[in-house]
Amino acid sequence: MKKLTALVLTLAMALSIVGSALAMDYPVRPINNVIPFGAGGGTDVWNRSLMKAMGEIMGQTIVSSNMTGGSAGSTGVNYAWMSPHDGYTLCGTSETPLTIPVMTGLLQTSKDWSYFIAAGSPGLLCVNKNASYKTIDEVLAALTATPESVSIAGTSGGLWFALAKLFDTYGSVPFKWLPYDGSSSAIKGCVAGEADCVVASAGEVKDFVRAGDLIPLAAMQTEGWEFPEIGMIPSVTDAVPALAQYLPLNQMLGFKVPADTDPAIITYLQDTFKKAMESEEIKTFANDQLCVLYALCGEEAQAIMGQIESKLCWVLDDMGQTKFSPDEFGIAKP
The enclosing domain of 77 has a CATH number of: 3.40.190.150
Number of domains in the chain: 2
Is residue 264 domain-shared with residue 173, that is, in the same domain? no
Is residue 189 domain-shared with residue 258, that is, in the same domain? no
Is residue 30 domain-shared with residue 111, that is, in the same domain? yes
In a domain, 50, yes or no: yes
In a domain, 307, yes or no: yes
In a domain, 260, yes or no: yes
Residue 254 confidence (pLDDT):
98
In a domain, 78, yes or no: yes
Q: Which of 222, 246, 270 is the last residue of a domain?
A: 246
Contact criterion met (CB below 8 Å) for 313 and 331: yes
In a domain, 334, yes or no: no
Q: Which of 246, 279, 296 is the last residue of a domain?
A: 246
Residue 302 confidence (pLDDT):
96
Residue 9 confidence (pLDDT):
44
CB atoms within 10 A of CB 107: 11
In a domain, 60, yes or no: yes
First to last CA, the chain: 50
Is residue 132 domain-shared with residue 111, that is, in the same domain? no
Q: Which of 200, 216, 246 is the last residue of a domain?
A: 246
Is residue 152 domain-shared with residue 242, that is, in the same domain? yes
* Three-class DSSP category at 176: strand
Is residue 45 domain-shared with residue 67, that is, in the same domain? yes
Residue 283 confidence (pLDDT):
96
Residue 55 confidence (pLDDT):
98
In a domain, 197, yes or no: yes
In a domain, 109, yes or no: yes
As a whole number of angstroms, the distance between CA 334 and CA 332 comes to 6
Contact criterion met (CB below 8 Å) for 202 and 124: yes
Q: At what angle do helices 183-191 and 202-210 cross, to 10 degrees?
A: 20
**H-run or E-run covering 194:** none
Q: What is the pTM of this model?
A: 0.82
Q: 185: domain CATH number? A: 3.40.190.10
Residue 172 confidence (pLDDT):
66
pLDDT, tens digit only, all 334 positions of the chain: 434 444 444 444 444 444 444 456 899 999 999 999 989 888 999 999 999 999 999 999 999 999 998 888 999 999 999 999 999 999 999 999 999 999 999 999 999 999 999 999 988 999 999 999 889 999 989 988 898 899 999 876 667 677 777 776 655 678 888 888 778 889 999 999 999 999 888 999 999 999 999 999 999 888 999 999 899 999 999 988 888 877 777 789 999 999 999 999 999 999 999 999 999 999 999 999 999 999 999 999 999 999 999 988 998 898 888 999 999 999 999 8
Is residue 296 domain-shared with residue 274, that is, in the same domain? yes
Is residue 103 domain-shared with residue 27, that is, in the same domain? yes
Residue 143 confidence (pLDDT):
87
Residue 154 confidence (pLDDT):
80
Is residue 87 domain-shared with residue 26, that is, in the same domain? yes
Residue 156 confidence (pLDDT):
67
Is residue 296 domain-shared with residue 307, that is, in the same domain? yes
**Sign of the Cα pseudo-torsion (119, 62, 13, 21, in order):** positive
Is residue 289 domain-shared with residue 188, that is, in the same domain? no
- Residues spanned by the domain of 296: 2-121+251-329
Residue 157 confidence (pLDDT):
66
Is residue 203 domain-shared with residue 289, that is, in the same domain? no
